[in-house]
Amino acid sequence: MGNNELSLQARAEQFPARAEGMEVFDEDSLQRANELVIGAARLIKEINSAFDPLIAEAHSTHQAIIDKKKSFTAPVQETRALLNPKIADYLAEQRRIQREAVEKARKEREKIIRLAREKEEKALQAALAAEEAGKPEEAEKILEEVPAAPVFKRTPAPKAPLLKGSYLRTDIKWRIIDQDLIPKDLWIIDTVAIDRIVRNHGLKTEIPGIETFEDYSSRTRT
């Protein structure tokens, strides 16, 4: 840190202590407070003059390095932009096929179980009817012919492709289908547009649900 910076820092650090116990209650105290505020504003100008050129130079160097880096990465990023969507489409299609196979197998198992239960129920009713008709041998024969509960072998689902270094990422996104149904607490107020209208019309601004008022703050001219 150079001598000039040390001087600016020392002078700046004096201001809070001078302002801390200062009250504004009459014309004299108003003038003293105003002089201190003006002095602070002038010192800020000196600080800006000392540091802004350094910041501009650093920013220029920073931006130049960023631009150079972009010139190196642009062709590589273009390759990723071309191929990543194609890879994602293929992996998504394979995932869809996998899910459909699993769902198809589940429905087939449920159908087999349902049909087996229906056959069992009909056999039990037929056996009961034979028993009531005094034909116990026939009822026993019917029960013996009831098929056993189905046993399912685990059928592996089609495997999704495995890629080294790449994978299918799933993000949940959204789109508007009916703006009128969106809850009002999720709406975003256009504060920029409101500020522009208020600047043009002042206290005469008429916007439903909006109230204009005067807000005061002190500004310093040097």
Residues 101 and 108: their CA atoms lie apart, in Å, by 11
Residues 65 and 69: their CA atoms lie apart, in Å, by 6
Q: Give pTM, 2 decimals.
A: 0.52
pLDDT of the residue at 194: 93
How is residue 136 annotated by DSSP?
H
CB atoms within 10 A of CB 221: 5
Q: How confident is the model at residue 199 (pLDDT cuts 50, 70, 90)?
A: very high
pLDDT of the residue at 204: 92
- For residue 9, the one-letter residue type is Q
Residues 120 and 126: their CA atoms lie apart, in Å, by 10
CB atoms within 10 A of CB 139: 20
pLDDT of the residue at 185: 82
- pLDDT tens digits for 116-171? 888 888 888 888 888 888 888 887 887 777 777 777 777 666 676 777 777 778 87
CB atoms within 10 A of CB 127: 21
In Å, how far are 5, 21, 26, 36, 43 from 17, measured between CA atoms? 20, 8, 21, 11, 16
The residue extents of the domains of the chain are 3-164+175-204
Q: For residue 17, is pLDDT > 70?
A: yes
Q: For residue 220, is pLDDT > 80?
A: no
> Is residue 222 helix, strand or coil?
coil
> Where on the phi/psi map is residue 165: left (φ > 0), alpha (ψ -120 to 50), or beta?
left
pLDDT of the residue at 222: 66
Q: Which has the higher per-residue pLDDT, 107 or 216?
A: 107
Residues 13 and 53: their CA atoms lie apart, in Å, by 23
**For 160-186, what is the mean pLDDT?**
80
Token pair belonging to 120: 């069992």
Residues 50 and 9: their CA atoms lie apart, in Å, by 12
Q: Which has the higher per-residue pLDDT, 216 or 114?
A: 114
**For 9-27, what is the mean pLDDT?**
87
pLDDT of the residue at 74: 93
Cβ 41 vs Cβ 222: under 8 Å: yes
> Where on the phi/psi map is residue 63: left (φ > 0), alpha (ψ -120 to 50), or beta?
alpha
Residues 8 and 88: their CA atoms lie apart, in Å, by 58
Residues 64 and 56: their CA atoms lie apart, in Å, by 12
- pLDDT tens digits for 42-98? 999 999 999 999 999 999 999 999 999 999 999 999 998 898 888 888 888 888 888
Token pair belonging to 55: 């910041």
pLDDT of the residue at 62: 96
